[in-house]
Amino acid sequence: MIGGGVSTTGVAAITSAGPNNAANVWNRRNLFTYSDGFQISKGTHQISAGVWFQRVQDNENTASRRLGQASFSTLQTFLQGTVTTFQVVPAPNELGWRSVFGAWYFQDTIKLRPNLTLLAGIRQEFTSGWNEVSGRAANYITDSQRTLVTNPLVGHSVFTENNAKRLFGPRVALAWDPFGNAKTAIRAGFGTYYTLIDDLSFLLNSIPPYNGSASFSNVALPSILPIAPGVPPPASCGPNVAAPCTIFAPQ
């Protein structure tokens, strides 16, 4: 429990008690990587090519606040048991994330003149997305008016569309020795580069219905306790949803 209405990393009024909000969490992350490449020198050309593949197997049981996190605005509300906010994950689940990343490249370094070198190449990167092994990938989406939809979309992938299947990155560069004495070099280059993110599970592990953090505000703590472990909370509050319903703290 913390006071002062602050985050778990800082306390403004009352010293925190008990374990932090990541108690009992764990994850097992395995990376299976293969890469190979070669170079060929022929005349004025030096050709390089290669491939890289990586399979990510990420099993995580990292939903935070599973023991509950209560915040109190003052010492008086703490003594009265009236929380400013109380967040808890009633039904934590282990999620198994899977993805395949890959890339290939081809590059040619050409000696145009004794003092002028051109490098030209291309690299393609791709990923199969970020997927849950049992079809439990949940993510919030927006409707046609760009309004957040109350209930997350649940499926095999957290993406409605994978835009990282064909990421082409051209590369071109020049190196010029204007005086031909190996003492001065003028270089110029251009390239397109991508970063394939492979750690999306951190926040996606905390989205309902599997690991949603139910949020309560300005209520007496005894009125909402005990939270029955493993029992899914009522559906998300929203239009045409009858009480009782649950307000989740989206990540």
Question: CA 210, CA 147: separation in Å to the nearest integer?
Answer: 23
In a domain, 42, yes or no: yes
Q: What is the DSSP letter of 180?
A: S
In a domain, 241, yes or no: no
pLDDT tens per residue across all 251 residues of the chain: 344 443 444 445 555 555 566 777 888 999 999 999 999 999 999 999 999 999 999 999 888 887 788 888 888 888 888 888 888 888 888 999 999 999 999 999 999 999 999 999 999 999 999 999 999 999 999 999 988 888 889 999 999 999 999 999 999 999 999 998 888 999 999 999 998 888 888 888 888 888 888 888 888 888 888 877 777 777 788 778 887 788 887 76
In a domain, 240, yes or no: no
In a domain, 206, yes or no: yes
In a domain, 137, yes or no: yes
Quote the number of domains for the chain: 1
In a domain, 228, yes or no: no
Which domain range does residue 56 map to?
Answer: 2-223
Q: Residues 6 or more apart from 10 whose CB is under 8 A from it? A: none
What pLDDT score was predicted for residue 9?
46
In a domain, 123, yes or no: yes
Q: What is the pTM of this model?
A: 0.79
In a domain, 23, yes or no: yes
